Chain A
């Protein structure tokens, strides 16, 4: 099984690696950390124009920018976690073949970086809500629970993909498409009510549905789909345990085949 005590001993390294990635990202840029704000804002504007204005996708009565941003925020966390974690081991080849540390730190620090982006984007969302005159809901206090769900799916799936990519580099090309398709299959830029009543139940099999929906519900004060959360929790736990176990088993061979 997974050696959590060792991971705890190396906890500082995760932080150092996250800081490294963030620092490196904005080195030698004029705008610097401002990019962390500009990127999600631009994305929100584009989605608002295309889906909100042109395609007129409903947003449950909320201003579409806020609606789409609250969904994108959560989805982006998941997608950039899984996307970067997936390729993270292959990208740190030289580290892995030259020095020992718990390998899981590599995908975990990718997720840490995504977490920082999530926090920045959340602040932007709060500012936008103030701008649109949206009241903050007490449900915001539940946000950490949904975030925990998101993190667990990301860790499980991200570390599994990272380990598999070491052997089968094909996944480097598969992951981006998988994430893109998955996003459109999840109510991120459209509400669940957009689907016809007879099809909504299918969505419960998508483990991302409840977490994305939950994060949005916390920000906008929408009702929480408890059945969805229950199903997603089970699926997430399975992904988390299976992902970590696979990683722990595959870890022993990384240095030989990377």
Chain B
């Protein structure tokens, strides 16, 4: 079968350091333009030749077969957004070409082109037309869209009076009723409250189940693992992996682990610092770095440097979420464990069994004590990305709380 999308060697070059009107003071700008009014004009037109260039994508090639649901993952700056923009034809690649077989629609943002002054109904037609639907098609689907968004009562109210929830629901509803053969989507899926998110998910599954070709970009490994049949990992503008979703997620997790290299010994700390961590790493079955895997064993390895020999050293770390809320701590004192450290480097490990943290970003605080004396304390010294391993199937709903219970389901009654 011929691929629905075939991407052949595309590269995209951006010019960085655009004109710097704001880089200079207003006075400089006025004086400068009085002295030589055309210099600026000349500079704008010559900037291609003079300024730094940056390849957001370099020689990217892949095929997407009809009916495939491909997830594109990668760190910030890996080129995902650029790839999406090129695939959805918003911008053209500097080199290479893309061939599509089928009608293409893209959804990079919910509610593109919504006008606040227009009513819900008018916006449905406007937004639909912008996304590439015909007026007839929208007319036919109007009831379905309104029903899906649950805004029937407000259909003739200007959307500027909508609550933000109603607004995104309506916007998503229009987009969800787009019927393209190839759909390119950014991380725009989960909007609204939980009930609506479940509805969105159901709709997305229908689209996917209909044999439509979907290419989506997401930071949410849950979305990727529950929807996609194939994963593509982008790294620095290159495809670093293309294959099964599980493997792609694994590679991505290793990639983000390697990317955060903060030198822990240079952070401001409390206490005398007679013992200092010089490196903190996390080990799990998929590798070593800054990531943790839910539901699996993760080991935190602290490399400590002590100024002299000392005993009865206790160590603790706390895990905080992005809102600086403490999720929990692990304290060696609570486990009745203290360490004897020698002058120089020592390695202390803490194993967390079957990690019950949900996916997301967390931070570590570390404290090292001897009795009641604080030897060293540091806040937010390490960023940890927790992702789902293969033990859980994620349903991409956020707000499920930071905890994941290690649980099993069963039904009482006859054993078969």
In angstroms, Cα B404 to Cα A185, docked, is 76
A98 touches B129 (CB 8 A): no
CB-CB contacts below 8 Å: B72-99 with A? 85, 88-92
In angstroms, Cα B92 to Cα A33, docked, is 41
Q: Chain A residues near B88 (CB, 8 Å)?
A: 99-100
- Chain B nearest CB: distance from A233 CB in Å? 32
In angstroms, Cα B92 to Cα A232, docked, is 36
Q: Which of A12, A17, A23, A98 has the most CB of B within 10 A?
A: A98
In angstroms, Cα B41 to Cα A167, docked, is 10
A20 touches B90 (CB 8 A): no
B187 interface residue per 8 A CB criterion: no
B112 touches A16 (CB 8 A): no
Which of B44, B108, B117, B158 is in CB contact (< 8 Å) with A167?
B44
* Interface-side segment among B118-126, B162-170, B311-319, B377-385: B118-126
- Chain B nearest CB: distance from A61 CB in Å? 46
- Chain B nearest CB: distance from A226 CB in Å? 41
In angstroms, Cα B108 to Cα A96, docked, is 12
In angstroms, Cα B108 to Cα A95, docked, is 11
B106 touches A16 (CB 8 A): no
B129 touches A16 (CB 8 A): yes
| A-B pairs under 8 A by CB, number | 67
Q: Chain B residues near A99 (CB, 8 Å)?
A: 88, 90, 106, 108-109, 112-113, 130-131
A235 interface residue per 8 A CB criterion: no
- Chain A nearest CB: distance from B394 CB in Å? 27
A242 interface residue per 8 A CB criterion: no
B134 interface residue per 8 A CB criterion: yes
A143 interface residue per 8 A CB criterion: no
Q: Which of A20, A97, A99 has the most CB of B within 10 A?
A: A99
B135 interface residue per 8 A CB criterion: yes
Please count how many residues in chain B sit with their CB below 8 Å of the partner chain's CB atoms: 28
Q: Which of B18, B90, B131, B132 has the most CB of A within 10 A?
A: B90
In angstroms, Cα B395 to Cα A21, docked, is 41
- Chain A nearest CB: distance from B99 CB in Å? 16
B130 touches A101 (CB 8 A): yes
Q: Chain A residues near B118 (CB, 8 Å)?
A: 20, 23-24, 27
In angstroms, Cα B135 to Cα A13, docked, is 9
In angstroms, Cα B135 to Cα A20, docked, is 14
Q: Chain A residues near B89 (CB, 8 Å)?
A: 100
In angstroms, Cα B122 to Cα A233, docked, is 39
B14 interface residue per 8 A CB criterion: yes
- Chain A nearest CB: distance from B254 CB in Å? 32
- Chain B nearest CB: distance from A251 CB in Å? 9
Which of B90, B135, B158 is in CB contact (< 8 Å) with A255?
B90
Q: Chain B residues near A170 (CB, 8 Å)?
A: 41
A95 touches B112 (CB 8 A): yes
Q: Chain A residues near B44 (CB, 8 Å)?
A: 167-168
Which of B92, B115, B125 is in CB contact (< 8 Å) with A24?
B115
A28 interface residue per 8 A CB criterion: yes
A3 interface residue per 8 A CB criterion: no
**Chain B residue at minimum C-beta to C-beta distance from A25:** B117
Measured CB to CB, the residues of A under 8 A from B are: 12-13, 16-17, 20, 23-24, 27-28, 94-101, 167-168, 170, 252-253, 255-257
Q: Give 13 CB contacts A-B under 8 Å.
A: A12-B134, A16-B129, A94-B113, A98-B90, A98-B108, A98-B109, A100-B88, A170-B41, A252-B92, A253-B91, A253-B92, A255-B90, A257-B18
Given contacts A168-B41, A252-B91, 9 further A-B contacts (CB under 8 A): A16-B129, A17-B126, A24-B118, A28-B117, A99-B90, A99-B130, A100-B89, A255-B85, A256-B14
